[in-house]
Structure 1
């Protein structure tokens, strides 16, 4: 009998991204999507993840389980803390999309760069990397970089400016660290615009790494 993966998104733009990745990495798995962009909008407006939003995240995990998911993954890093809580309250495994990426970064180097366009994503991702390093028993250094204004440019209909700002930050950060972690999946496309000489260190994006990880489990 086919396994079923439930994906919970805070942006509809991520549905086709993960649809393609599922076809590539999990061709024999049933997949369904739950989308609610009010979750991330609430976090951004408030500047942090608050209890009532976290409770809704837990409810979505329960909904996915009730819908028949054998495994659940949340594709947004900003709600990561609530996802970890949800994992303790469901009967099926629940994964935050950035955990496999954090584990890979820790395995690659000691100096780890974390880059984001939202402060609400930068802090949770940096915290996750620190905790996964502790689990691995490894001492690391983290350099966190916020591309201020890039997210506003993207939401304001200027993706070119967003990509230019992120690319510039990536080039600068690559001179200071062993590996770079992208805190948001929306930044991944910028990596493809960089030349091999500009990508001086590995630059990790969570979606493909998470799907590789799920393929080993499912």
Structure 2
């Protein structure tokens, strides 16, 4: 029996998130049609100022509006820096809106007490840390979060130096593995680093593409 085609709108603030989420969809849900909506200026402004402004939120909402107007069944935001605003933003739309990293954060709180966070965008580390603590508080669970931010890795990736980007992440995974039960890569663009690591990882390392796909497809089902 034929299944109804599914179209999902992807909201990006950087080109670096496109390949990881597309690769994950090809592997897990190749039947899904993906539509991309991009505003790279958001991540550049965020890196320069370190502040999410009302104007930036309005630009993000405009992208989501374009996705909904395109007739998608669901909308997935791939930039973790804007995740704290999704709870309020999604109330504006009839189409389901999901933040890529929310399910990953909830899962990590469920399975671990000592959580390591690696981010390459300055705001993503503190935002992810705060969300983890809020999720833990709602569940009445005590956690320890150790966060490292390596902005040089982000700029290396922007300049096409993938070896430096991946290597810096590998280094921090190794360091956090000594003291953490699980390690999170805060941004979707970082997932590529797991494909180039050349040694067995001591602790689980979570990325958002795979978990977010399961979340949005379950929601649509």
TM-score if structure 1 supplies the norm length?
Answer: 0.90
Q: 1:160-199, aligned counterparts within 5 Å?
A: 160-192=163-195, 193-196=197-200, 199=201
User: What is the match of residue 30 of structure 1?
Assistant: 33
Partner of 1:17: 20
2:121 is aligned with 1:110: no
- The residue aligned with 2:98 is 95
Residues 61 and 86 of structure 1 are in contact (CA less than 8 Å); yes or no, is this contact kept in structure 2?
Answer: no
What CA distance in whole angstroms lies between the structure 2 residues aligned with 1:65 and 1:43? 25
Segment of structure 1 superposing worse, 1-10 or 154-163? 154-163
1:180, 1:202 within 8 Å by CA — same for their partners in 2?
yes
Matched, 1:47 2:50: yes
Superposed CA RMSD:
1.8
Could you say which residue in structure 2 is the equivalent of 1:214? 216
In the superposition, relative to structure 1, how do residues 64 and 135 fare at CA in structure 2: closer, same or farther (>3 Å)? Answer: farther
The question of whether the paired residues in 1 share the 8 Å contact of 2:104 and 2:206 is answered with yes
Structure 2: 5+ residue runs without aligned partners? Answer: none
SS for the counterpart of 1:119 is coil
The counterpart of 1:6, out of the listed 9, 27, 34, is 9
Give, in whole Å, the separation in 2 of the partners of 1:178 and 1:98.
Answer: 18
Of residues 16-25 and 42-51 in structure 1, the stretch that sits farther from structure 2 once superposed is 16-25
Aligned residue pairs total 216
Contact 1:167/1:194 (<8 A) preserved: no
Task: Give the TM-score of the pair, scaled to structure 2.
Answer: 0.89
How many Å separate the matches in 1 of 2:161 and 2:26? Answer: 30
Which one scores higher on RCO, CA 8 angstroms, separation ≥ 6? 2
1:139 partner SS: coil
Query: Unaligned stretches of 5+ in structure 1?
Result: none
Distance 1:71 1:174 in 2: 35
Larger deviation, residues 155-164 vs 70-79: 155-164
Kindly state the Cα deviation for residue 207 of structure 1 after the two structures are TM-superposed.
0.8
Q: Which moved further from structure 2: 12-21 or 37-46?
A: 12-21
SS in 1 for 2:202: coil
Give the Cα separation in 2 of the matches to 1:66 and 1:136.
Answer: 37
Q: In structure 2, how many angstroms separate the alpha carbons of the residues matched to 1:134 and 1:109?
A: 14
Q: CA deviation at 1:55?
A: 1.3
The 8 Å contact of residues 25 and 215 in structure 1, kept in 2 or not, is answered as no
